[in-house]
Each structure stands twice: as structure tokens, then as C-alpha cells.
Amino acid sequence: MQIINSLQYNLVHCHIIFIAWVGMLGLIIGSFLNVVIYRLPIMLKVHWERECQTYLKQTSTLKHKLFNLFVPRSHCPHCETQIPLWLNIPLISYVFLRGKCHNCGAKISLRYPLVEILSCFASIVVAWRFGCSWQMLAALGLTWALIPLIFIDFDLQLLPDEIVLPLIWMGIFLNIFGLFNTLEHSVLGAICGYLSLWLVGFVFQLIRKVEGMGHGDFKLFAVFGAWLGFEYLPLIILGASLFGSIIGGIFLLAKKYPLSKPIPFGPYLIAAGWAMILWGKTILGWYLQFIRF
């Protein structure tokens, strides 16, 4: 009996250590996600401007300076001083510097530590839910890809294809091996996810003569259809609408969001879809029991 208790203690202890390591990895990844959130929209803007100039046969006025997710090195956006490695430690550096640049004293946005904390927390939840498994690895990758989409969509009402489209194909590929659902349900989920929101947007535009939803939302919904299957889509759209109504209402009441500015739907889709990735079967079971009464 003592041996069994000792083994159980060691297993629990190892599981806690494993989750802690995943959380630390999430913190490090979160630092890189801040780079993606800041740089990817700039990279896309430069690319689109060059494409327009090429199409119009105009001479490019843009400087061909190397700029991507890795070059140049991290620097202060105010004084452009490079940040040394010892001051680029996730979360710790922000606390040590008291939220200010070490060179010019300019304030560092609170978003940087928030993204790192969000990535850390979400990684811990995924590791706790799935344990050491292929599902955990897949869910971690999806989680880390979704976090930049939340902030880019809030800032620019943009869900970049460079992130969204690979996620659709990844979901279908993983379900070849039945990781979250069958391949047939995955393909149908991607199709139904895209077409259902496209149809809603089309009807809205037909009636109101304005776009009510961006095409990025259609593709994002297809992502969750590809990962989870078509049967989870109604719950995701229901949850997203509920999250959007509550959080959007709070922002409007607090006057933190101007009425003239479109409210992005992507972050709420992501919140609902991520919850379904983790607890989809449980939530679906509750929902089916509820509608029977």
C-alpha cells in the first residue's frame, strides 16, 4: 500500500512539474507572439503596397529594408535602441524595468506582459486538460496561433490569411488520424463553417447594403469546423454571440469603444472555439440534455 501511495505521489508530482514546464514554454512563446502581433500587420501592409504598385506599373517608392518576424532585433519603438537579451526575459524584464524603456524611459505597453501571461495561462490549461499527448501538442499549436489573431482583429479588424488558412489545413490533416474527429466530419465542418457565415453575411449585405461581417470571420469559423467537425459549429456560434453581447455591451456602457467603430467578431469566435476544443464533448452533452427537456 505504501508503494502504491508513493507511486501515486510521484505521478502527481511529475504531472505538476510537466504542467509548470509547459507554462514556462507558453510564457516564452508569448514573448514571440508580441512580435507577431506588432510586425505581421506591417509586413502585410508593405506587401500589399508593393503588389498595388506592381499592378499599376508604378515605380516602387518603398525602401527594400529587411523586415520580418526575426529581423531586425527587438528594439524600443520610441528611441529604436536594441533591447539586450538580459532585458528581454518574458514578464520578468517588464517588472524589473517597471514598464519603461531602459534607454529613453518611454512607457512599455501593458499589452506585452498581458499577452505573455495569457499565453502562459492558456498553455497551462491545455496541458492540464490533455496531459502529455498528441492532442496537447496540437491544441498548444492552435492556441498559440489564435492569440495573435485576437489582438490583430481588435486593432485592425483583420484576420490574416497567413495564420488562418494553415490552421484549416492543419485541422483536416490532424483528423486524418482522428485526433479530434473523423476526417469526413472535419471536411464537412470546414465547408459548413465557411458557407454558413458567408450566407449570413451575404443576406445582411443584400438587405442593409453594407458588409456586416468580414471574410476573415468566415475562414476562422471554418478553422473550428475543420478541427472539431460540423456538429460543434452551432454551439460555437452561440457561445461567440453570447461572449460578444456581454463583452461588447460592457465596452459600450463603459464608453471604451466608439459606436462608429465596427466591433470585431473574431475574438469571440476564438474564445468559444477554444473552449470547445478543450471541453467540447462535455458542453455538447450538457446542451443535448438541456434541449431534451
Q: Which three cell numbers stand for residue 118?
A: 495569457
Query: For residue 98, how far is the Cα from the chain centroid?
Result: 27
Domain spans in the chain, listed from the N-terminal domain onward: 1-132, 133-293
pLDDT of residue 7: 47
Question: Grid coordinates representing 171?
Answer: 485541422
Instruction: Give, in degrees to the nearest 5, the angle at Cα 12 between 125 and 271.
Output: 5
Q: What pLDDT is recorded for position 92?
A: 84
Q: Which residue has the cell 452561440?
A: 238
* Confidence (pLDDT) at 74: 81
Question: Locate cell 486538460: which residue?
Answer: 129
Cell numbers for 212 = 456586416
Mean pLDDT by 10 residues, the chain (293 residues): 54 78 95 94 87 79 72 78 79 83 83 95 96 95 97 93 96 96 96 94 80 85 96 93 84 67 88 94 80 64
How far is the C-alpha of 171 from the C-alpha of 166, rounded, in Å?
9
Cα 105 to Cα 34, 77, 100, distances in angstroms: 20, 12, 5
Is residue 132 left, alpha or beta, with left meaning phi > 0 and alpha meaning psi from -120 to 50?
beta
Say what the pLDDT of residue 200 is.
87
In angstroms, what is the C-alpha Rg of the chain? 22
Q: What is the DSSP letter of 170?
A: H
